[in-house]
Amino acid sequence: MPKNILITGASSGFGRDTAQTLARAGHRVFASMRDSAGRNRPHADALRARGVHVIELDVTDDASVERGVALVLENAGRLDVLINNAGIGSAGVSEAFTTKQVQALFDVNVFGIQRTLRAVLPAFRKQGEGLVVNIGSILGRVTFPFFGLYGASKFAIEALTDSYRYELSTLGVDVVLVQPSHYPTNIFASAQRPADAVRAPGYGEAGAIPDKMVETLMALFASDQAPNPHDVADAIVQLVEQANGTRPARWVVGQSFGADALNAQAASVQAQAQALESLGLTYLAETKRRSGTA
C-alpha cells in the first residue's frame, strides 16, 4: 500500500537516493532540504523530475520544521513515515574543534531529529500509527579515533531512538535505527574540519592521522571495491514496507566493524529489562519482545 513519506536532508547522498527509490516503489515522497530555491535548486528540480515532492525545511530551525511538516500534512492529508536523514560529518583532532562547531554538529544530527519528531508525532499519535526511521551510524556503536565528535552525536541518537521506541510502543508507532557503515557520499568530503588548527601540531605525528584516514576512505570510494550506497535505500524501503510491530529495532547496513555484535549484546541487556521491571514499565518493551527484537 502506498505511503506518504517525509525525508529530511534529501538534496544528496542517502537522502536523495532513498527519496527516489521510495518514489519508484510507488510511495508519495516529500523530500526536504534547505535553500531549495537557491543553492539546492538543481537537486530539487532533479527530484521533482522523478515525481518527488520537494519541501523547504531546515532541521536547525523550529519554525522551518513546523512549516514544512504542516505543508506536508496539508498536501497529503496524512503522514505515514518520517525518515530522519539530515546530518553532517566531522573528522579531525577532537581538541581542535571549537565549542561552536560541536554545537552546530549536534544541532543538525541530534536536535534536528528532536525538532522533526515534535512536529510529526502529534499526527502519528492522532492516527494511531506511523513509522520513524532514524539514520544513525556504526560510529554510534564503535568508536574510531578522530571521528569521536561525530560518533558522539550518533551515540546520542542511539539513546534517543531507544527511548522514543519505548515511549511510543503503546501508540502504534514504530521507531527504527538504521546504522550505515562507510559509504561514498558527501558526508566525508563535506565534513567539518577543525577550526582551531593550531591545536593539531601539538599531537605530533598523530595529528596527521585524520587526513590520512580521509585520504584512505576517498581512495576506497574511488576504487572498484567501493561499497554501494544504494544498500541504505534498499534497507529503508524494506523497513517502510514491513508491517507495524514486525520491524527490527536496529539495522546495520554494510561492514559492521563489530557494531552488530555490540547491538546483540545491548539487546540482550535491554531484553532483561531490569531497569524497566524495577519501575513497573516492562509492558513498554512487550511489543518488541513479541517481534523478537530489543
Rounded CA gap, 33 and 62, in Å?
A: 14
- Take residue 244 and report the three cell numbers written for it: 507495524
Q: Which helix (H) or strand (E) holds 275?
A: helix 274-278
Nearest C-alpha neighbor of 146 from the set 98, 197, 207: 207
Residue type, 183: Y
Checking DSSP bridges between strand 4-7 and strand 81-84, what pairing results, if any? parallel
Distances (CA, A) of 16 to 45, 191, 227, 233: 12, 18, 17, 9
User: Quick count: other Cβ atoms within 10 Å of Cβ 81?
Assistant: 23
Q: How far is it, in rounded angstroms, from Cα 95 to Cα 192?
A: 13
What does the angle CA 153 – CA 39 – CA 33 come to, to the nearest 5 degrees? Answer: 45
Provide the total of helices (H) and of strands (E) in the chain, helices listed first: 12, 7
User: Of 150, 164, 166, 183, which residue is the catalytic one?
Assistant: 150
| Active-site residue, 164 included | no
Determine the 3-state secondary structure of 129 from DSSP.
coil
* Residues belonging to the active site: 150
